[in-house]
Structure 1
Amino acid sequence: MSLTELITGVEDHQKTLTIFNAGPTAAEDLRERFADRNVHVQTEQTESGRPGEFITLSEDTEVIAAASLNSFTDALNEGRQYITRDNSPYVSILDHLDETMFTSWSIQRMTAASREIEDRAWRVGQGTLHAGFQTLSTLQGELDLYERLGETDVDVHAYAVPDVEPPEYSTFSLHLERSNEIADSWFVVFDGGGDPTQKCALLAEEREPREFYGFWTYDESTVDWIIDYLEETYGYLEQ
């Protein structure tokens, strides 16, 4: 299985957000928020109107998470849409929205999501981080950040197609690959630094010019699979 096939497998599993006992405005707001995600948003009413406004997340016919509508929308309003975890009430929904496809993400949104993972690796301060930049010219714009990250105890690996001369670098490992998969893929993957709860990954492919389709996850087995695949497929290092 390739990185593209993994993305396609996630794409085939659509989830459903059901909003109970709320007016049409709430539904339209969430439809707009999730317009770029492979999530179906629908509304329902309980016969009694109780227990108030709440939301469920389901896959196929199974409900996998629930939360009050207010706690969920408050989290979204605070911008907690990427790879974050704590003990807040909304976590049960957002945790299960990892590995849900996003569509047509811009460079700006991909960069913001990548920063979440890079920051997590920085805070943990150890472990291994794998990052795919598509091309060396893209890596050049991130060189200072990745040199600083490589100065920590994090083992940093960067992957890119050589479209320019390699830059000078000293604190991370560079994988130069003349591969369509590397040219088309944007990924940032952190192994958690020994803490499984810190594992996370962003994986996407460029299907349209500068528009990316993919998913983020902190599922341990998915993160492990991506890392194993990268190491087995692109293990050779350019010196």
Structure 2
Amino acid sequence: MSLTELIAGVESHEKTLTVFNADEETVAAVRERFHDRNLTVEHERTESGRPGGFAVLSKDTPEADDQFVTAASIDDILSQADPNDPEFEEGSYRPILDHLDETMFTSYDTGQMVAASREIEDRAWRLGKGQLHAGFQMLSILDDQMDVYKRLAEKERLDVHAYAYPDAEVPRHDTDLTIHVERSSEIETSWFVVYDGGGVDVNKCALLAEEREPRTFYGFWTYDPDTVDWIIDYLNTSYGLVESY
């Protein structure tokens, strides 16, 4: 299985978000909030009308239809996240990655992808250990992000790997950053940031997407340890050409 096939597998499993006991304006706001996700939003009312303003996420599985995934208040769901610069400081981030784990997003632009990537990079920075793997598509794009990744690579117990197609010279640096130069169409079209949580399952996370239209990305994020481990194992075994400076 490839990265592209993994994305396709997630895409084929649509989830349902059922909004309970909310007015039509609120339901419309929830639909707008997730307009770029592979997600069906439905509206229902309980007989008592209580509790008010909550939503339940479910998915179909081979074992059962509408299997419960998680529940959340409408206020939490509608809270918006803003992109932030990579300051790696306490309180400098508002999360963009939500609890809709492994739900396909369908049309993220570069700004949204950067914001989501920063959240995973920030987690790796704060924990300061383990493996962080990031795919930049092109060496020229990696070059623009070298300040961020040199800072990450300065963490002594954090093993940082960058992957890119060779459209430019390999960026030079004096850190332990490992750059994998790959003439692969998969690397050329894939944007990913994967962190192994320093070996702790609860800290593992990944963002994986592919560019299907110019600078428009389709993919998912996940906190599932098995999925994160699979992606890292795949990268470690599939891509070995290294240029280090």
Q: Tell me, yes or no, whether TM beats 0.5.
A: yes
The one-letter amino acid paired with 2:239 is Y
- The counterpart of 1:162, out of the listed 150, 153, 166, is 166
Percent identity, aligned pairs only? 61
Alignment of 1:218-229 (within 5 A): 218-229=223-234
TM-score, normalised by the number of residues in structure 2: 0.88
- The counterpart of 2:139, out of the listed 127, 136, 140, is 136
Please name the residue that 2:190 is paired with.
Answer: 185
1:81 shift after superposition: 4.9
2:20–2:55 contact (8 Å) kept in structure 1: yes
1:148 shift after superposition: 1.4
1:78 shift after superposition: 5.9
1:147 shift after superposition: 1.0
- The counterpart of 1:110, out of the listed 108, 113, 135, is 113
- The counterpart of 1:203, out of the listed 200, 208, 212, is 208
1:174 shift after superposition: 0.7
Alignment of 1:34-53 (within 5 A): 34-53=34-53
With over 3 angstroms needed to count, the CA separation of the structure-2 counterparts of 1:110 and 1:78, relative to structure 1, is: closer
Supply the distance in 2 between the matched residues of 1:101 and 1:237 (Cα, whole angstroms).
31
Supply the distance in 1 between the matched residues of 2:241 and 2:76 (Cα, whole angstroms).
47
Please name the residue that 1:88 is paired with.
Answer: none
Unaligned runs of 5+ in 2: 61-65, 83-93
1:205 shift after superposition: 0.2
Please name the residue that 2:239 is paired with.
Answer: 234
Supply the distance in 2 between the matched residues of 1:207 and 1:140 (Cα, whole angstroms).
23
Please name the residue that 1:90 is paired with.
Answer: none
With over 3 angstroms needed to count, the CA separation of the structure-2 counterparts of 1:52 and 1:147, relative to structure 1, is: closer
The one-letter amino acid paired with 1:226 is I
Supply the distance in 1 between the matched residues of 2:8 and 2:80 (Cα, whole angstroms).
30
Unaligned runs of 5+ in 1: 84-93
Supply the distance in 1 between the matched residues of 2:214 and 2:76 (Cα, whole angstroms).
36
Matched, 1:99 2:113: no
Supply the distance in 1 between the matched residues of 2:95 and 2:105 (Cα, whole angstroms).
12
With over 3 angstroms needed to count, the CA separation of the structure-2 counterparts of 1:104 and 1:67, relative to structure 1, is: closer
With over 3 angstroms needed to count, the CA separation of the structure-2 counterparts of 1:224 and 1:148, relative to structure 1, is: same
The one-letter amino acid paired with 1:231 is N
SS of the aligned residue for 2:149 comes to: helix
TM-score, normalised by the number of residues in structure 1: 0.90
Divergent runs of 4+, >6 A: none
Cα offsets for 1:22-68 (capped at 9, x unmatched): 11001100100000001100101222222333211111222222233
1:71 shift after superposition: 4.2
The one-letter amino acid paired with 2:220 is F
